[in-house]
Structure 1
Amino acid sequence: MANRKIFVAGHRGMVGGGITRQLELRKAAGEDIEIITRTRAELDLTNQADVRAFMQSERPDVVILAAAKVGGIHANNTYPADFIYENLVIETNVIHQAFEAGVMRLLQLGSSCIYPRDAAQPMAESALLTGELEPTNEPYAIAKIAGIKLCESYNRQHGTDYRSVMPTNLYGPGDNFHPDNSHVLPALIRRFHEAARASIDVVTIWGSGRPRREFLHVDDMAQASLYVLELPKGEYNQNIQPMLSHINVGSGTDVSILELAQLVAHATGFEGRIETDPSKPDGTMRKLMDVSRLASMGWRASITLEEGIRSTYQWFLTNQHNIRAK
């Protein structure tokens, strides 16, 4: 990507921040790239006119669309209109205005929730649109599916090279640790940290603890994103189905929620009991990505879950006051 202007939309988010850090490391190592970023105050991605003016003025060579409205089950259930509207508008504005500005290479980030609730495990890219979605996050999932289809459609009609990566559950520096609106792993880190500091004897987790989930550190995701982005067009296309522009990114392994809680308890120093509450919903019993396609292209995750939880907890400790202030 030498001599290129790269616009990272959503650089203050967890994934966008990870990608920006990777690009900054490459630039420091001598790559001739210009990293373009804008805060939400500087550029409202839901405003079509503003996005158009920005793209026409900056004329980036590459666009990485990591901006999105994201949240856990509670947030998705409470604000479904916000999730489908904001994500659809961001995708349509950024992708179309990138095309209008002559951008031929674009990477957009989606989510594993695009796959049907009852998809065969592990979930392959071909499972898209083969069944009903998980009801709790259907609006968000539909918006992310639309993003994939936008990329596919521009590729088909205009010969662009727009790609989509579908990550599994992500975690790491920059995550959302809000007690109500965060995903399971950062929520557990915060709960077990507070329990350990308050010498609480029991922490109760939602559900039976039996559902299994896959997790990927954001630094691995950032490296995978740039790896996919940089694959030569011919090499990329021969590894995907015709007219299919998305590819799974994950660790390829999963753990039960109870096992995850035990790992978090160990990392945070919590020594009490962990109990489950089967009266609360479990959600989908298993969500594991089939990452064989990306592995065949030459990329695999390198950060273990234990190592990632430890480093994420250290980041939380360093930044917890700012996190709570938000």
Structure 2
Amino acid sequence: MEKDAKIYIAGIYGMVGSAIARALRERDFKNIIGHSSEELNLIRQVDVEEFFRKERPDYVFLVAAKVGGIYANNTYPADFIYNNLQIQNNVFHSSYVYRVKKLFFLGSSCIYPKFAEQPIREDSLLTAPLEPTNEAYAIAKIAGVKMCEFYNKQYHTCFISAMPTNLYGKGDNYNAMNSHVIPALIRRFHEAKMANLPEVVMWGTGKPLREFLYVDDLADACVFLMDNYQDDRTINIGSGREVSIFDLADIIKKVVGYQGNIVMDATKPDGTPRKLLDSTRLKEMGWSPRIDLVEGLSVTYKDFLSGNVRI
């Protein structure tokens, strides 16, 4: 990317979008644009077309999406598939029409089959059934991956996609019902600490294994790929390290300073039993994460305490 290029971040005020903006500014990119959902409704085709006609961005990071944890995905599947398909369709097509030099689409590791061989390679896509609790969201993201491939094939665009592992960090969503596991646990342990509660109840058995990546590491990888990757195939972005949900909770408990007990509610769903990405291709390109889990969680908790988060 040229230093004077106009770079549009769709979702700039979200956790990932704001991290990408930080990463670009650290590299002296100054012509960065983006809007809140109130200023630019990406679900409305006419609004998106007008934005691209007026702004003519050179590069696009498409990281805007409706996201949520197990409860939200399982409760509002129509919202997840409709909103995300609309956003993707509108941004992809306007990027083609207005001759964007390169588009980066951020998917999700939940696109892979529920029982995919571990670690999960990129060629596992569409080889077996998905995890039912987030199927609607996953199908929308799969459509985005395929749109990159098919637009490149038919229109000779330069659209790339990447699949991140589970993310956390500054600017996360701490909503009690719609958040992902790390912000949900940070909030629960913090509130239990403040109320001096004897225990915190968690969904599931605690046995599933998950891989986590700090959001600033993800942003660094996104910029790296925008500069160095050009392939129709999607590419995984992971840390290469996994932890059980119970052990994760124990780490967060210690970071927060909560003294009570952790109780598992095994009547609630676990989700996918294991999800570790094979990030060999990205590693061989020369990229690797820098922030370990304990360090990242400590920074994230400080961000939560700052009050500048979504509750």
- Using the size of structure 2 for normalisation, the TM-score is 0.97
Residue 199 of structure 1 deviates from its aligned partner by: 1.4
Task: Describe the superposition over 1:186-211 as per-residue Cα deviations: whole angstroms up to 9, x where unpaired.
Answer: 00000001111111121222111111
**Matched ranges for 1:128-277 at <5 A:** 128-231=125-228, 233=230, 237=231, 243-244=232-233, 246-277=234-265
Question: Which residue matches 2:310?
Answer: 323
Question: Which residue matches 1:13?
Answer: 14
* Structure 2 residue 81 is the aligned partner of structure 1 residue 84: yes
Task: Name which of 45, 58, 61 aligns with 1:61.
Answer: 58
Task: Name which of 34, 41, 44 aligns with 1:37.
Answer: 34
Aligned-partner residue type, residue 269 of structure 1? G
Task: Describe the superposition over 1:173-231 as per-residue Cα deviations: whole angstroms up to 9, x where unpaired.
Answer: 11110111101110000000111111112122211111111111100000000000100
Residue 47 of structure 1 deviates from its aligned partner by: 1.0
Q: Distance in 2 between matches of 1:79 and 1:17?
A: 26
Segments of structure 2 that go 5 or more residues without pairing to the other structure are none
Secondary structure in 2 aligned to 1:281? coil
CA contact (8 A) 2:108 2:164 kept: yes
CA contact (8 A) 2:10 2:64 kept: yes
Task: Describe the superposition over 1:129-154 as per-residue Cα deviations: whole angstroms up to 9, x where unpaired.
Answer: 00001111111100000001111011
- Using the size of structure 1 for normalisation, the TM-score is 0.93
Q: Distance in 2 between matches of 1:323 and 1:97?
A: 30
Residue 3 of structure 1 deviates from its aligned partner by: 2.1
Task: Name which of 300, 304, 307 aligns with 1:312.
Answer: 300
Aligned-partner residue type, residue 7 of structure 1? Y
CA contact (8 A) 2:84 2:141 kept: yes
CA contact (8 A) 2:208 2:272 kept: yes
Question: Which residue matches 2:276?
Answer: 288
The alignment covers a number of residue pairs equal to 310
Mean Cα displacement is larger for which, 18-27 or 247-256? 18-27
Secondary structure in 1 aligned to 2:68? coil
Residue 232 of structure 1 deviates from its aligned partner by: 5.6
Q: Distance in 1 between matches of 2:268 and 2:99?
A: 50
Mean Cα displacement is larger for which, 271-280 or 95-104? 271-280
Q: Distance in 1 between matches of 2:310 and 2:86?
A: 27
Segments of structure 1 that go 5 or more residues without pairing to the other structure are 238-242
